Structure 1
Amino acid sequence: MSLFIWLLTLLLVCNVSLADDTITISTGEWPPYISKSLLHSGVVIKVINEAFALESIQTKIIFYPWSRAYQNAKKGIVDATAIWYHSQEREEHFHYSIPVVHNEYVFFHLANFDFNWNTINDLKEIKIGATLEYTYSDEFHKAFNDGWLDVQWVPTDLQNFKKLFLHRVELFPLEREPGYFLLNKHFTEKEINLITYHPKPLRSGSLSLLFNKKIKNNEKMLKLFNSGLLKLKESGKFDQYLRESQRGDYIIEDKEDYFFVYSTQKAIHFTRIFSSQMHKGF
């Protein structure tokens, strides 16, 4: 009996130790940065996994629709969620890591829609599509909450682009590179040529890994992740992984031709490559 108790105690200790060395992270589809269809689940997940691995922490990544990914982290069903812009509401519930990536939102619209803007007041009486749980800008959300900004909220970015093509909305704010990645994946070259974006960003900023404040072990996990991410950046691997992602190295596609997008300061350019060239860049 004493041997049985000893073995049971050892098993429990091992399980507790394993739990302490593992973190569960919710996320959603956000190509080309995060996607189940990408190698390593995308460059952001690769960076998160390797940053934790440098500190001997295992990760469990779970994909949800974005709204559920956030709510499950807020409720403590998972330990953390990747990755999000800063907002006051989120700061009440989460610890923020040091920035993982930097990005900016721009307004996509049909090229034949005459659009220019300088301040949030210029958006009055324009139908705008938006994605649930996204943070656009404090001014944007205040204008919507005050009732004078016409915003239609839906669960996915793809739904918003479809509404844009159908003229159900006139503007759709989204990060530029993820926006064109989504367009390239779901629409034809002819359709994509109908879309443009305004160069003035609605917002720009950094995105972080969020850790639920109510979970006891998360202050430790936050420190370990920040330490691992700094090590990854200092080693040069962080920049290397971003370059690989920009070249299209993480895209897995062998069924049909693919249109990749890369940006310059003045325009978006399209380069068509075939599956045999998938990992050669452009």
Structure 2
Amino acid sequence: MTVNGLAGSSCRLVLIQLKTLLAGAVLSILALAVHPAKADIVRIAVGEWPPYFSESDEGYGTYAKVVAKAFELEGLTVEYGFFPWKRALLEAQSGRWQASAGWGKTAEREPFFHFCDAVLVEREQFFYSSDRPVNAQNVQDLSGLSLGALDGAALGEDLDKLVTADQITVYRQSSLADLFKMLDVGRVDVVMGNGEVAADALADAFSPEETARFKSLENVNVLWDYRVIVSRNIESGEELCTRFNQGLRKLRDTGEYDRLLWPERDGEGQSQASPS
């Protein structure tokens, strides 16, 4: 075969290869059109806070289910990571994880996070042991006492004033169960915690007879709204909040919010989420 013949054969071979590559590219594009790309993933750092968040629970807890479903309705898939609460906040703040959940809105956190609509609005209660009764009608009456609180948890404006004035001593632990153990032996005078979470913690750490020793102050509480917070260190933070809020509204409208958050009430519970 001549040199010209070899060159012609090479050109034809190159053209065939190019046609094959182009055909493959077209088929790939068509396949993507028929089979959309996997939904975007939202990575959320949280901690143990049963029944709302728990790594050992199906769906990771009732609050976790609400958040995952709200994002799912907007085409997003949630991936949870469990950490000590203080670290969960830092992971989200840095943007290593896009978001965290179950946090109240405070002036200290606002520079670092976008705050989505509240998933839950409840009162933080103050618990004491009947072996060492506490008489208080308001937060100011807690002056001079020692308080147990969760790591990373905000205390509220009134308690912050007592802390600043050195009128109350705060001890932190990573779980309410550990705080109640401190209360049981007199290492703290009162423990601050969510009522649902406290009931779960007491049931895990104490017998029913022992649990009966712990009481809550009837007139002293702090109202908190618990939100999904999204890092300001990621580009899509504000958009993620908008999409979550849209999904959450859909859950409320259909009644699925109550079924997910309060399964023991069999759909009869009243939504305690913020109306906003």
Q: Contact (CA 8 Å) 2:112, 2:231: kept in 1 or not?
A: yes
Q: Contact (CA 8 Å) 2:251, 2:257: kept in 1 or not?
A: yes
The structure with the largest alpha-carbon Rg is 2
2:187 aligned to 137, 157, 168, which one?
Answer: 168
- Rounded to whole Å, the distance in 2 between the matches of 1:20 and 1:91 is 29
Counterpart for residue 44 of structure 2: 25
TM-score, length of structure 1 as denominator length: 0.78
- Rounded to whole Å, the distance in 1 between the matches of 2:38 and 2:240 is 12
Instruction: Show CA shifts across 1:50-80 (max 9, x none).
Output: 1111111111111111011011111111000
Deviation of 1:240 (Å) = 2.0
Q: Does 1:129 align with 2:141?
A: no
- For 1:191, the aligned partner's letter is E
Structure 2 matches for 1:244-259, cutoff 5 A?
244-246=263-265
Counterpart for residue 126 of structure 2: 107
- The residue matched to 2:219 in structure 1 has which SS? coil
Q: Does 1:179 align with 2:176?
A: no
Counterpart for residue 64 of structure 2: 45
Counterpart for residue 270 of structure 1: none
Structure 1 residues without counterparts, runs of 5 or longer: 248-282
Q: Does 1:85 align with 2:104?
A: yes
Structure 2 matches for 1:265-280, cutoff 5 A?
none
Structure 2 residues without counterparts, runs of 5 or longer: 1-16, 267-276
Q: Contact (CA 8 Å) 2:114, 2:241: kept in 1 or not?
A: yes
Q: Does 1:152 align with 2:168?
A: no
- Rounded to whole Å, the distance in 2 between the matches of 1:184 and 1:227 is 36
Counterpart for residue 98 of structure 1: 117
Mean Cα displacement is larger for which, 226-235 or 186-195? 186-195
Mean Cα displacement is larger for which, 238-247 or 156-165? 238-247
Structure 2 matches for 1:44-83, cutoff 5 A?
44-83=63-102
Deviation of 1:195 (Å) = 1.0
- Rounded to whole Å, the distance in 2 between the matches of 1:185 and 1:120 is 28
- The residue matched to 2:68 in structure 1 has which SS? helix
- The residue matched to 2:228 in structure 1 has which SS? strand
TM-score, length of structure 2 as denominator length: 0.80
2:232 aligned to 179, 193, 213, which one?
Answer: 213
- Rounded to whole Å, the distance in 1 between the matches of 2:96 and 2:111 is 17
2:256 aligned to 237, 245, 248, which one?
Answer: 237
CA RMSD of superposed structures (Å): 2.3
Instruction: Show CA shifts across 1:215-269 (max 9, x none).
Output: 101111111111011011101111222331456xxxxxxxxxxxxxxxxxxxxxx
- Rounded to whole Å, the distance in 2 between the matches of 1:95 and 1:192 is 39
Q: Contact (CA 8 Å) 2:140, 2:158: kept in 1 or not?
A: no
- Rounded to whole Å, the distance in 2 between the matches of 1:100 and 1:201 is 23
- For 1:196, the aligned partner's letter is K
Counterpart for residue 258 of structure 1: none
Q: Contact (CA 8 Å) 1:85, 1:205: kept in 2 or not?
A: yes
- For 1:108, the aligned partner's letter is F
1:190 aligned to 206, 209, 213, which one?
Answer: 209
Counterpart for residue 118 of structure 1: 137
